[in-house]
Amino acid sequence: MAAEAAAKVKSIFLYPIKSCRGISVSESPISATGFRWDRQWMVVNSRGRACTQRVDPKLALVEVELPDDAISLAWKPNKSSYLVIRAPGMDELKVSLCKPPQTCDGVSVWEWSGSALDEGDEASKWFTNYLGKPSRLVRFNEESETRPVDHNYAPGFRVMFSDGYPFLLVSQGSLDALNELLKEPVPINRFRPNILVDRCEPFAEDLWKEIKIGNLAFHGVKLCSRCKVYFGQNMVCEDLPEGNEHIIKLGDPVYVINTFASYEDTST
């Protein structure tokens, strides 16, 4: 391992509902599909297809809140544990963190389709009223479904409702460099990363093939495509034996173990 850290974890973001606002946390447990609670829920239309900001930009104004202790390692939900959802002009919606009994089939996101847990009529009415079209809130059913990532890049790994991979890592230096080129600077939430690191050169993360954060090994598998550009590194986490708990915290050092030789290598 390198003697000195190449960067430090500056921010950690969770996005409990796909395409809705994220939550900044001081630490987060890691599972095989990413950070706990990340993209565990998704809004779907009348055909069961994922609703995203690409078609429904109003989702960007939907705020979500988890119980303060929900990111603790040993925490488990009870009947008084809720995901609280807010949006402009809407009453507050509370969704129980205990798994609902009902399921719905024909849920799809990108090329994946399967069944999901249905959060019920109250949540459906809330999102239907807010988006102005028939909608339902569903939760990934870990007990019956598996959604693998692209096997061409990371065979054997899986996600819930994330677009593609368990983690997206971006550096503050890259954001600063980008904003120097823009007339109107953009905040980091525009790119929806899970891990924001600092104290490294701009775009250094693009060439990170293997890094360690704490005792966890992360592998860079694919630069994140943004229309005509790439921004951020999609990553997977190795060494997650079942039954063990793993956690990342703000300030954790980032050690670079191996790098790609060139940008061409990051897309192969």
Are 133 and 159 found together in one domain? no
Q: Which of 122, 144, 166 is the last residue of a domain?
A: 144
- Quick check: 209 pLDDT over 60? yes
pLDDT at 122 over 80: yes
| Alpha-carbon gap, residue 17 to 138, rounded angstroms | 9
Same domain, residue pair 132 and 63: yes
pLDDT digits (tens, 9 = 90+) for 83-118: 999 999 999 999 999 999 999 999 999 999 999 999
DSSP 132-181: TS-EEEEEE-TTT--EE--TTTSTT-EESSSSS-SEEEEEHHHHHHHHTT
Task: Based on the fold, state whether residues 183 and 200 are members of the same structural domain.
Answer: yes
Task: Give pLDDT tens digits for 215-235.
Answer: 899 999 999 988 778 999 999
Alpha helices, H only, the chain: 121-131, 172-179
What percentage of residues in the chain have a pLDDT greater than 70?
Answer: 96
Q: Which among 145, 143, 150, 135 has a CA at the least distance from the CA of 115?
A: 145
More confident residue, 262 or 207: 207
Question: What is the overall mean pLDDT for the chain?
Answer: 94
Q: Which of residues 144, 174, 206 is at a domain's end?
A: 144
Residues 157 and 223 occupy one common structural domain: yes
**Residue 71 falls inside a structural domain:** yes
- 167: β partners: 235
Are residues 198 and 123 both part of a single domain? no
Give the confidence band of 268 by pLDDT, cuts at 50, 70, 90: low
The average pLDDT across 185-211 equals: 97
pLDDT reading at 73 higher than 90: no
pTM (predicted TM-score):
0.94
Quick: pLDDT tens for 22-52.
Answer: 999 999 999 889 999 999 999 999 999 999 9
Q: Domain count of the chain?
A: 2
Cα gap 139→40, rounded to integer Å = 6
The predicted structure's pLDDT at residue 226: 80
Tell me the residue range of the domain where 77 lies: 23-144
**98 and 178 inside one domain:** no
Supply the pLDDT for residue 1: 46
From residue 130, how far is each of 36, 169, 171, 202 by CA, in Å?
Answer: 27, 31, 34, 39
**Statement: residue 2 has pLDDT above 50:** no
Q: Single out the residue in 144, 161, 180 at which a domain terminates.
A: 144
165 plus 79 within the same structural domain:
no
Instruction: Please check whether residues 91 and 195 belong to one and the same domain.
Output: no
